[in-house]
Chain A
Amino acid sequence: MKKREDAAQDREASSLPSSPVIAAFKVFQQELDTKHDKYERLIKISRDVTIESKRTIFLLHRVTSVPNAEEILNEADAKLDGVRQKIGQIAEELRGEDLHQFHRAFTPGIQEYVEAASFLHYIRHRSLISLEEINARLVFIGTEKGDIRVSADAPPEGAQVLTFQVTPSDYLLGVADLTGELMRMCISSVGNGDIDTPFQLSQFLRQIHDGFSYIGNTGPYEISKKLHTLRQSLGKVEDACYTLRVRGSEIPKHMLADVFSSRTTLMDPEEGVV
């Protein structure tokens, strides 16, 4: 199919070699192809970023059920370093370009990265990662060989510094996704007999929910849909805390897990995970 098209093109081009219109369109062809190629490459990197970020999130969910959480957090950090490497490739592709021209190609990946990075940050520090903190870690050093490193210290001499700026909208959408993960973490930590985390989580989720209500419809269009999911997640976490408070006094601690594992199966596990 592709070959035939090319052949047809060649024939046509050679039949009208001198026409200024054809000459002009050959230039356009090149310009469009270059742009489309770049777009495709960005989509591919973005998909990789998404996949790796999702895996990091799955890894982080294991934190509630193992004794040595620090080990998992370090492993997640290492994974996210890999993701940042990939984001460095995006920054490299965008060098000298208008970020917004290709924004649609990589926004899903970036949102997923924000979700993973903020999840890790929450587990470590019990607070919301700020946009500056995210952007501060997306500074890259391009070496002469063309490969990219995530910068840790001052750049070596003669190296080029590349930055990638997460847009506030992408940050917001990533944080909205984070709430779904927090809900899952809440339910699973109850399952493990941890009765402090759910209360911390419900407080944090309420703060985020209030924040989104404050932004309301001034934000990007996708927000309203995510806000609905956020309400559902918040409802589930609040319900869990309610049950803990009411029944926690009556049920012996070792049986709490059973109470909740039967409760969680009643909830649709797929909801809010997106």
Chain B
Amino acid sequence: MSVTEMFSYIQGFLSADQDVREDIRKVVQTLEQMAREILTVLQSVHQPSGFKEIPSKCAKARELFSTVRTQIAELKTKFPVEQYYRFHEHWRFVLQRLTFLAAFVVYLESESLVTREEVAQILGIEVVREKGFHLDVEDYLAGVLIMASELSRLAVNSVTAGDYNRPLRISNFINELDSGFRLLNLKNDPLRKRYDGLKYDVKKIEEVVYDLSIRGLAKESESGGDK
């Protein structure tokens, strides 16, 4: 094989690769649009009037997730499944956003931490790599961390809206999450950087709880008094 032949063979490979990436980018763009729409729906829970509407907003968000599922199904057709990590960077960000949104919906509904299996189910994907398009554990954890900062905001806003009990429940939840994350041996990677922000969320929520307690506003303090 001559030098020229070799290079044109490689060139053929590279342009095929670029075509695949182009296709992926297009679908990921629609996914990002969808994620923004869901976020807009959920953002209204921060409004004073929004607290009563939480169940209806969650139902609306869950409806929108069905569109996400079809879009992800389309994404799956764009590349061979065993090359997931070759193109991972393209959808990593949006998958983390979607995990956050799914986790937020589940928290608002049941005040519990979404499992990785639940997220995978909401998004219509798999948990383990062997079965196909899956949710990487680091992406799941990153999504959960985004939710933590959203919850610290929610704690502040729920006080403004006159809901004094919610911050205590959020505080318990975040503390549990924090001790969970402390079990992990994180490397010096993006996930670690994001985790380093968790302590500020914890601190913020603790301040809210403190403010409520010294003013006697937290009536059911037995739920939050143990820390």
Contacts from A to B (Cβ < 8 Å): 5, 8-9, 12-13, 16, 19-22, 24-26, 28-29, 31-33, 36, 98-101, 103, 127-128, 130-131, 168-169, 171-172, 204, 207-208, 210-212, 214-215, 218-219
Contacts and interface: CB of A to CB of B under 8 A. Distances in A.
Given A13-B183, A25-B183, A128 B85 contact: no
B187 to A, nearest CB: 6
Interface in B149-195: 176-177, 179-187
Interface stretch (B6-14, B31-39, B48-56, B59-67): B6-14
Contacts of B183: 9, 12-13, 22, 25-26, 28-29
B199 interface: no
Contacts of A16: 176, 179
B3 A32 contact: no
A31 B88 contact: no
A12 to B, nearest CB: 5
A161 B156 CA distance: 60
B201 to A, nearest CB: 16
Contacts of B10: 131, 168, 171-172, 215
Given A12-B179, A100-B88, 6 more contacts: A9-B182, A36-B187, A101-B85, A103-B85, A171-B10, A214-B8
B184 A210 contact: no
B193 to A, nearest CB: 15
Contact of A211 (B7, B88, B177, B185): B7
B4 interface: yes
Contacts of B18: 218
Contact of B6 (A19, A21, A128, A204): A128
Interface residues of B, number: 38
A119 to B, nearest CB: 15
A129 to B, nearest CB: 9
A21 B7 contact: no
B130 to A, nearest CB: 8
Interface in B67-113: 82-86, 88, 113
B182 A211 contact: no
A210 B4 contact: yes
B186 to A, nearest CB: 7
Nearest to A98: B85
A29 B182 CA distance: 10
Contacts of A24: 113, 115-116, 180
A81 to B, nearest CB: 24
Contact of A25 (B14, B88, B138, B184): B184
A211 B4 CA distance: 6
B41 interface: no
Contact of B15 (A33, A127, A218): A218
Contacts of A208: 3
B20 interface: no
A128 to B, nearest CB: 5
24 contacts: A9-B182, A12-B182, A21-B113, A22-B183, A24-B113, A25-B181, A25-B184, A28-B183, A31-B137, A36-B187, A98-B82, A98-B86, A100-B85, A127-B3, A128-B6, A168-B10, A207-B2, A207-B3, A210-B3, A211-B3, A214-B7, A214-B8, A215-B7, A215-B11
